[in-house]
Structure 1
Amino acid sequence: MDGKDSKVLKVLAREYRSSAAAATEIINLQSIMNLPKGTEHFLTDIHGEYEQFNHVLKNGSGFVRKKIDEEFGNTISNKDKKSLATLIYYPEEKLEIVEREEENLEDWYKISLHRLVQMIKRVSSKYTRSKVRKALPGDFAYVIEELITEKAEIHDKEAYYNEIIHTIIRIGRAPQFIIALSQLIQCLVIDHLHIVGDIYDRGPGPHIIMDTLCAYHSVDVQWGNHDIVWMGAAGGHLACIANVVRMAAHYGNLATLEDGYGINLLPLATFAMETYQNVDCSAFSIRFNTDYNTKDLSLDTRMHKAIAVMQFKLEGQLLMRHPEFRMEDRMLLDRIDFDRGTVRMEDMAGNSVEYTMLDMGFPTIDPQDPYALTEEESKVMERLRQAFVKCEKLQRHVRFLYAKGGLYKIYNGNLLYHGCVPMNGDGSFMEVDICGKRYYGKALYDILEYYARRGYYAKEPAERALGQDIMWFIWSGKGSPVFGKEKMATFERYFIAEKETHEEKKNSYYRLLEKEETVDRILGEFGLHSREAHIVNGHVPVEQIHGESPVKCGGRLLIIDGGFSKAYQKKTGIAGYTLVCNSRGMSLAAHEPFESAGAVIEKESDLFSHWVEVESFPRRKLVSDTDVGQEIRERIYYLEELLEAYRDGTLMEEE
């Protein structure tokens, strides 16, 4: 036994103080290894659509309904199955309707409680009693355990369980018990949740989604470029802040910042109202939804233009600091001819072309020094910076993203990342210059994540500032794996009519991902050599409406962005894909557009559309086949060493 093993055994000996205790734990762990693996749920590109997100979370991408079908088969009607599913998803709201409309409420309680208990027995069957016990709600833990545990010593089991349920109803606790059971089913149906990037922007409720994730029982996050820019903004990076505010304005979601996070936008509003009062802002239209208050439209349009101009200035300053980013083509303010109303830039073929500007109302731009903020703009940006860094709720959410997230994750033999692994046209990995050194593949991901963490946590100001500049690069830089495009054509979409300038050419990865050698090269780069390994990513919407499939390379690579964001649903034809992986295989769920939670409750409908089976495992996967199984295997090894040390007297047992 070497020194490291000796230390491990001494630590274990404090927890298991006798050979009997160690032996009991070995038996317990070995039994866990032979249970079916837990169900994993993958979501990506949520983009602030909190109602749809919450519903998909509640219904487990249709998995709750699947379990209802398995448990009840043809013994209850399809109408009753829908009603039970709705109760599990929205117990409080469903109870309000039932208590108002149901004539024989006691019978309804009795039937519903029996069905919910049956569901809990089914969904908890793959877990140890200890794990289920930890998931039980405190107020009802003992009662639920009694109802779901078989008791051999009781002869008339039906009478015993009926009496428990009758008592719950008689003392007026049925509604609370139904809510507890429904929430427990939601918790047990999904063992672990993966968010494969882009929680923020476009939709109105990223703060609500983040609150939900912070309270979720088991989750990890792979940062998307929209998450990264918010993380940079939370750290106080001015260019990131400008991007976040501009996108909120563009999608009519300034209320997300003001009401959701309590960020004061009054300095920006006052500045925009005064500076852009008589300036043409028509190129900065607002893409608002039905909840948007149009009385704010004129002011929001001015705020939109004001922050966009500041963004272009701040990004120009950043790119002058970092010529190694090789993004000179994104510095366009100094290419404007203010007399002719044109801008000169390269077309897709690399030729220098002069384009007519759609908007020349720039009261704050000095043609001799176009990237300099005016004194008033500097004050606005400093006020915004203070608001972002002092927002406790935003800081809590961003710390959660750092604690639970990263740019990629390897989990149970699958590789998860948001965007792509940047590649050249010949299928080789693209090298990207980061701080004077060149990186590609996994090393590129690792170095960018390192700087992203330094951008928030570094104490030394220069190190922190560099990290934040690199976070902006991760957001929109050529070579960024979570952006994955040649350029972000924000300037062109506002100011140039010619559509060809709006194109954001994708990295070669997206053209090569159907090739088996590409997928093998990527998986091998991250240390995954099994033919059972998959890549799961999002970022680029899958256009099902045009016949595109999310299943690439024979099922070895899955792109599960199918349009959660309402802004993309006309383009994709659906309202998003999600992925479920359980002990029997992997399936994609395609979702219909989500109307509202109220409509689901009232109509007892669901936005789940249909399943696409990706892979059926040749044998049922067990806990022993997972990352958790590997950890348990290692723990069993040391426990057996501890047992041997007790038996041969190397360590002494406590009496």
Structure 2
Amino acid sequence: MEKLKFLECLSKQYPNIDSAATEIINLQSILNLPKGTEHFLSDIHGEYKAFSHVLRNGSGAVMKKIDDVFGDTLFDDQKEDLASLIYYPSEKLQYIKSIGKADSSWYRTTLYRLVSVCQIVSSKYTRSKVRKAMPENFRYVIEELITEKKEVLNKKAYYDEIINTIIEIGCADDFIVDISNLIQRLVIDHLHIIGDIYDRGYGSHFVMDSLMSYHSLDIQWGNHDVLWMGAFAGQTACIANIVRTSLLYDNLSVLENGYGISMMPLVLFAMETYADDSCTQFAIRSRHSNDMDTQTKLAMKMQKAITIIQFKLEGQLIKKHPEYKMDNRCLLDKINLQNGTVTIDGKEYDMLDCNFPTISLDNPYKLTDEEQLVIDKLASSFMHCSKLKKHINLLLQKGGLYKVCNDNLLFHGCIPMNSDGTFRMINLFGKDLCGKDLYNQLERSARKAFFAVDEEEKQLGRDILWFLWNGPDSPLYGRDKMTTFERYFVEDNETHKEVKDIYYQLINDENIVNKIFKMFGIESENAHIINGHVPIHHMEGESPIKCNGKVIIIDGGFSQPYHKVTGIAGYTLIYNSYGLMLTAHEPFKSVDDTIRNGIDMQTNRVASEVSQKRILVGDTDNGKEIRENIKDLKELIQAYRNGAIRQNQRS
């Protein structure tokens, strides 16, 4: 009975045998096409220019297609010029005109080359899918140019006429822009973001704007992403962390210009409360210690003010949730102002700063009225920001804590484990959970911050978002503690250490990795774990490939502060019909350099895993869904034929 009801619903979309049969033929043909290219990026951290360029060049996929088309028939500089035009068509056109090269001969040659590239990048898709991706203005023209027309006897004359007409009527510029964007669109079929879009860099909001319009993607939340989710939901400890980090990395522009969140309440409070405090422990990372202008001094005072507010709010949360097991992060009550010391894990340390005018010895975690007013105003700004709402909605709609896709397990941080290789049991919700069950429960709880009706449930969801940011059992954070307090106030570097979860050692053990695959229901011999979060120290010889290729960590340091440590500017992963290819990127110079000189972001292939046979759509998760759809359509046809469902024969 249930099956019949389902088939009746399906019959509304396919009202007769002919329509169902046509769709079966279409789906069957798709199964035999090469699989689309998947693109994996991680730990973008607001580095918009580098991120945007990697999206435009498909981590080298565009240049690979140019090589495939032209081989040795073009010089390297000609290929680079063509590639830079595809990446930045409007800007490149403007430059070509400025140097006087944009004559009819250049346009004709360029249009033919672009059409040739477009032909090859569209060849792995159905004509219907390519048509949907085409720009509306030139849809018919592009389709004519990239489609083989066997019935045309003089093909050269036919295509020449189209190209000449485009140039003659003054549409060449618009056509170049549209076909270049189409090539970018078709080179990458699906984008995976493995967490940490936000913080550190200046352009997190620009990255999110790009993702808002991207044709096909999923996002695995990183701990920096859930921090922003918590802030939008009104979790004040998350808000304080974001403001403090923005001040530390000198990127308040994301808050003020990107999201329109005013810092004026914090400015006024910091100027008054810390007027006579030099706040030397709160230096701005991008500014030299000798560069102590008025703006820098104010930023340091603001950073100290919000840091103390953060520690108070976090102390309140930790006492409210003993299940978080974070008592060792409550340090304000361990300060001895008389001696100028703090006791951490039973050991006493000298404090680098003891000026705390807002901390009460009787109740160190209570906000003053002025501090409460500051955080309330900030919370109101975060919660009522329409642009942030759109971006957080994208994270909720396209994102989650993990994803299994084509036998690849994607997550940002780690699977919490014990040293003996067992999954660590964690009790946050009244029962012991580990691995996949823990991930599922944490995601359900996090979503309640936005969708629950009961206010208590919503508040628990908000608090879980903060826990996911820095909790010792958080699979997104993956360290024993976040030593923010120690880094500000204690000189001893031993106190600054944050011990990584044992997972990062155990992933070199194939038995452990296979246990993880089994827990997440992955049985393929070609399975992989793909995650980020922990930068690979390339300069020290560390490899992003673990466990004989079964684990790939793709955080190579997109973020500029990591470049000195990692020695590169990030890893990206491509998974196409031929297999996997991991690429290391050098720091991106500038868009202008790419446009003027054709200089692309320098990339080096780190590793590749070539499939024994070309991977088809039928071999993917999408192929499984298509086969299910074909099965349902065949049952619908049978129901039409045996009279169980009446056909709607349209004339």
Normalising TM by the smaller chain, what interval?
Answer: over 0.9
Q: Residue 318 of structure 1 corresponds to which residue in structure 2?
A: 317
TM-aligned CA deviation for residue 4 of structure 1: 2.3
Give the C-alpha shift of residue 165 in structure 1.
0.8
Deviation string 1:414-447 (CA, Å, 9 cap, x unpaired) is: 1000000000111111111213222111011011
State the Cα deviation string for residues 531-579 of structure 1 (Å, max 9, x = none). Answer: 1110000000001100000011011100000010001010000000000
CA deviation string 1:259-310 (max 9, x = no partner) = 00000110011101111110130000001279x9965211111111100000
Aligned partners of 1:407, 1:545: CA distance in 2, in Å?
30
**1:636-647 aligned within 5 A:** 636-647=630-641
CA distance change for structure 1 residues 523 and 293 in 2, over 3 Å: closer, same or farther?
farther
1:470 equivalenced with 2:468 (yes/no): no
- For structure 2, the residue ranges without an aligned partner over 5 or more in a row are none
| Corresponding residue for residue 454 of structure 2 | 460
Structure 1 unaligned residues grouped into runs of 5+: 347-351
User: Residue 392 of structure 1 corresponds to which residue in structure 2?
Assistant: 386
Counterpart residue number, 2:335? 336
Q: For 1:102 and 1:195, how far apart are their aligned partners in 2?
A: 41
Amino acid at match of 2:278: D
Q: How far did 1:213 drift? A: 0.2
Amino acid at match of 2:516: I
Answer whether contact 1:45 1:196 (CA < 8 A) is retained: yes
User: How far apart are 1:595 and its partner, in Å?
Assistant: 1.8
What is aligned with 2:296?
Answer: 297
Of the candidates 359, 362, 366, which is equivalent to residue 368 of structure 1? 362
Q: For residues 135-154 of structure 1, what are the structure 2 equivalents within 5 Å?
A: 135-154=133-152
Specify the alignment match of 2:165 in structure 1: 167
Instruction: Find the aligned partners of 1:579 and 1:462 in 2 and give their Cα distance.
Output: 41
In 2, Cα distance between equivalents of 1:518 and 1:277: 55
Q: How does 1:475-554 map to 2 (within 5 A)?
A: 475-554=469-548
Match of 2:267 among 266, 269, 274: 269
Offset of 1:104 from its aligned partner? 5.3
For residues 348 and 279 of structure 2, the distance between their equivalents in structure 1, rounded to whole angstroms, comes to 22
1:284 matched residue in structure 2: 282
Q: Which amino acid aligns with 2:317?
A: L
Instruction: Find the aligned partners of 1:295 and 1:35 in 2 and give their Cα distance.
Output: 62
Pairing 1:446–2:436 present: no
TM-score normalized with structure 2 length: 0.98
**Aligned equivalents of 1:654, 1:456: Cα separation in 2:** 44
Q: Which amino acid aligns with 1:323?
A: P
Q: How far apart, CA to CA, are the structure 1 residues paired with 2:457 and 2:647?
A: 51
Counterpart code for 1:344: T
Q: Please give the alpha-carbon distance, in whole angstroms, between the structure 1 residues aligned to 2:567 and 2:287.
A: 18
Distance between the aligned counterparts of 1:155 and 1:326, measured in 2?
77
Q: Which residue of 570, 583, 595 maps to 1:601?
A: 595
Tell me the equivalent position of 2:344.
Answer: 345
How far apart are the structure 1 equivalents of 2:430 and 2:537? 39
What is the distance in 1 between the residues matched to 2:592 and 2:353? 43
Q: Give CA deviations for 1:321-360 in whole Å, capped at 9, x if unaligned.
A: 01111110000000000100100012xxxxx210000011
Match of 2:12 in 1: 14
Asked if the contact 1:36–1:126 (Cα under 8 Å) also holds between the matched residues in 2, the reply is yes
Task: State the 1:653 CA deviation.
Answer: 1.9
Q: Residue 612 of structure 2 is aligned with which of 610, 618, 621?
A: 618
Equivalent residue number for residue 418 of structure 1: 412
The separation in 2 between residues aligned to 1:391 and 1:379, in whole angstroms, is: 18
Local SS of the residue matching 1:398:
helix
**Cα gap change, 1:104/1:51 in structure 2, threshold over 3 Å: closer, same or farther?**
closer
For residue 426 of structure 1, what is the amino acid of its counterpart? Answer: D
Between the two proteins, the alignment pairs up a number of residues equal to 647
1:67 aligns with 2:61: no
Distance change (3 Å), C-alpha of 1:317 and 1:41:
same
Aligned residue identity for 2:330? M
The Cα of 1:651 is off from its aligned counterpart by 2.1
In 2: Cα distance, 1:548 partner to 1:35 partner: 37
Shift of 1:529: 1.7
Is this contact kept in 1: 2:402–2:411, CA < 8 A?
A: yes
Deviations 1:597-625 (A, max 9, x none): 22222221111321133311111111111
Q: Is the 8 A contact 2:96 2:102 kept in 1?
A: no
Shift of 1:654: 2.2
In the alignment, the residues of structure 2 paired with residue 343 and residue 607 of structure 1 have an alpha-carbon distance, to the nearest angstrom, of 47
CA change 1:607–1:294 in 2 (3 A) is: farther
Structure 2 CA distance for aligned equivalents of residues 611 and 416 of structure 1: 21
Q: How do residues 146-295 of structure 1 correspond to structure 2 at under 5 angstroms? A: 146-288=144-286
| Distance in 2 separating the partners of 1:431 and 1:135 | 47
Distance 2:366 2:188 in 1: 51
Asked whether the equivalents of residues 589 and 608 of structure 1 are also in contact (C-alpha less than 8 Å), the reply is no
> Which amino acid is the alignment partner of residue 340 of structure 1?
N
SS of the counterpart of 2:73?
coil
SS in structure 2 of the partner of residue 380 of structure 1: helix
The worse-fitting range, judged by mean Cα deviation, of 537-546 and 101-110 is 101-110
Asked if structure 2 preserves the Cα contact closer than 8 Å seen for 1:422 and 1:481, the reply is: yes
Alpha-carbon distance in structure 2 between the residues aligned to 1:38 and 1:138 = 23
**Structure 2 counterpart of 1:356:** 350
Task: Report the equivalent of 1:349.
Answer: none
- Whole-angstrom distance in 1 between the partners of 2:328 and 2:7: 60
Paired residue type of 2:476 = V
Change (3 A) 1:104 1:245: closer
Structure 2 Cα separation of the partners of residues 454 and 484 of structure 1: 23
Instruction: Give how far 1:459 is off.
Output: 2.4
C-alpha deviation, 1:219, in angstroms: 0.5
CA distance in 1, matches of 2:407, 2:298: 51
Separation in 1 of the partners of 2:431 and 2:17?
A: 54
* 8 Å CA contact 1:192, 1:218 repeated in 2: yes
Q: Quick one: distance in 1 between partners of 2:153 and 2:19? A: 33
Task: Provide TM-score, normalisation by structure 1.
Answer: 0.97
Aligned AA for 1:329?
N
Displacement of 1:652:
2.3
- What CA distance in whole angstroms lies between the structure 1 residues aligned with 2:74 and 2:362? 77
- Change in Cα spacing, 1:506 to 1:103, as seen in structure 2 (3 Å) is closer
Is this contact kept in 2: 1:561–1:577, CA < 8 A?
A: yes
* 1:11, distance to aligned residue in structure 2 (A): 1.5
**Structure 2: distance between partners of 1:443 and 1:518:** 17
Distance 1:407 1:294, change over 3 A: farther
Decide whether aligned partners of structure 1 residues 187 and 104 sit closer, same or farther in structure 2, where only a CA change above 3 A counts: closer
Paired amino acid for 1:466: L
Q: Contact 2:95/2:595 (CA < 8 Å) preserved in 1?
A: no
C-alpha contact 1:62 1:608 (8 A) present in aligned 2: no
1:112 to 110, 113, 134: 110
Q: Which residue of 2 aligns with 1:565?
A: 559
Q: 3-state DSSP class of the match of 2:275?
A: coil
**Equivalent AA in structure 2 for residue 395 of structure 1:** K
User: 17-26 or 517-526: which moved more?
Assistant: 17-26
Classify the secondary structure of the residue corresponding to 1:535.
strand
Of 34, 55, 74, the match for 1:57: 55
